[in-house]
Amino acid sequence: MTATSGEGLVPESPAASPTVPVGGDRILLGLNTFGDVGVNPDGSPQPHAEVLRQLLEQAELADAVGLHAFGVGEHHRKDYAVSAPEVFLAAAAARTSRIRLGSAVTVLSSDDPIRVFQRFSTVDAISNGRAEVMLGRGSFVESFPLFGLDLADYEVLFEEKLELFDKVRAQKPVHWEGRTRPSLHGLSVYPPLEHHLLPTWIGVGGTPESVLRCAQYGYPIIFAIIGGQPRAFGPLADLYREAMGKYGHPMQQVATHSPGHVAATDEQAREEFFPHWLALRNRLGAERGWGPAGRGEFDALCAPEGALYVGSPDTVARKIVQLKRNLGVDRFDFKYSNGPLPHAAMMRSIELLGTVVAPRVADTLAG
């Protein structure tokens, strides 16, 4: 599965992007990572710089095995190495040739929409039209105090900045007024993209309000499904499709994002993945007031209806096919980095996803 070119696109379409048509019996497979900081053999944390260099190797491999997209998430905390996705993506653009390169997600609430557009339009130029951006509010709030923002403005910051970004993305003189930054009256933003508008997704966690906001702008949507059962997102996917019609927008891609790990056998994949998943789950759970997790919760999430895509290539392929059939999604982004999972294990997982899982998924759906 490879990325498509941007030729022949119609820039005036509100969500035009160099991607495949919506629907059909195909599902694109991409990768997501937050640049999780691993550990050295002595148990000490890896240097962030080393993690970033390993990420470039992972992006190169993802491109080589034909996966559709590679996305890096923005965070501002010690357990994740990526705080400037566009800088990394520009470096990855020089070392890849086909794969789409994007964020997963860009925390628009604490950034400047104009600078976000400029940085991604620059990546698009460097990569010959392979850039995309996923916008969201993020599941962490460290960026708010870091950049001097008030959490009391959480909602209005995202709403106003999304409105401004949409106007900038249109590549026309910008007229905008709001309360979170000075007004703009007829200014243009550079550099523009060459052949299309910047492909832009909205990442949502599962609220109807977020789904409707995405449909209002006519953007593709990606659901972050990290727990429970993916089929439970069916009503939200239906709501998006219905709302897109009511707003008069052409249908865009629907995608999901979930954690996972591929190894030779189900047992190997689970044993490699479990301790790292557990450490990450309980660390974040302690921050957010969740109770401790254990093996029972993990095994339930690895079951056929669960949200973890962990197992042999056959097992993971079956779960992706089931996702396609249950939700009708056009793309699945596989979060292959989870806590201090070793680099070698992640590389093997990427290789198996591209060379074994993706062809089996395509063959099954085509049959």
Q: Is the dihedral of CA 334, 37, 129, 94 positive or negative?
A: negative
pLDDT average, residue stretch 121-139: 96
Beta-strand pair 131-136/106-107: parallel
Q: How many CB atoms lie within 10 A of CB 78?
A: 10
Q: How many CB atoms lie within 10 A of CB 38?
A: 21
**Locate tokens 């195909």: which residue?**
26
Domain 28-366: state its class.
alpha beta
Closest CA to 17 of 178, 265, 255: 255
C-alpha pair distances (Å), 3 with each of 63, 73, 91, 97, 148: 10, 20, 18, 10, 38
φ, ψ (nearest 5 deg) of residue 302: -85, -10
Domain residue extents for the chain: 28-366
pLDDT at 138: 78
| C-alpha–C-alpha distance, residues 122 and 125, integer Å | 5
Stated as kind and residue range, the H or E segment containing 101 is strand 100-103
pLDDT band at 18 (very low <50, low <70, confident <90, very high): low
Amino acid at 158: F
138 close to 74: Cβ distance less than 8 angstroms: yes
pLDDT band at 3 (very low <50, low <70, confident <90, very high): very low
Calculate Rg over the CA atoms of the chain: 20
Exposed e or buried b for every residue in 145-174, given b needs 16+ CB within 10 A?
A: eeeebeeeeeeebbebbbebbbbbbebeeb
φ, ψ (nearest 5 deg) of residue 62: -60, -40
pTM: 0.93
Judged against a pLDDT cut of 50, whether residue 49 lies above it is answered with yes
Residues 287-337 pLDDT 10s: 988 999 999 999 999 999 999 999 999 999 999 999 999 999 999 999 999
pLDDT at 206: 87
Q: Where are the alpha helices (DSSP H) in the chain?
A: 48-64, 85-94, 113-126, 143-146, 154-169, 208-217, 234-246, 266-288, 295-302, 313-327, 343-352, 358-366
Residue 219, judged by CB atoms within 10 A of its CB (0-12, 13-18, 19+), counts as: buried
| C-alpha–C-alpha distance, residues 337 and 22, integer Å | 28
Residues 190-246 pLDDT 10s: 999 999 999 999 999 989 999 999 999 999 999 999 999 999 999 999 999 999 999
332 close to 30: Cβ distance less than 8 angstroms: yes
257 close to 242: Cβ distance less than 8 angstroms: no
Closest CA to 33 of 71, 68, 81: 71
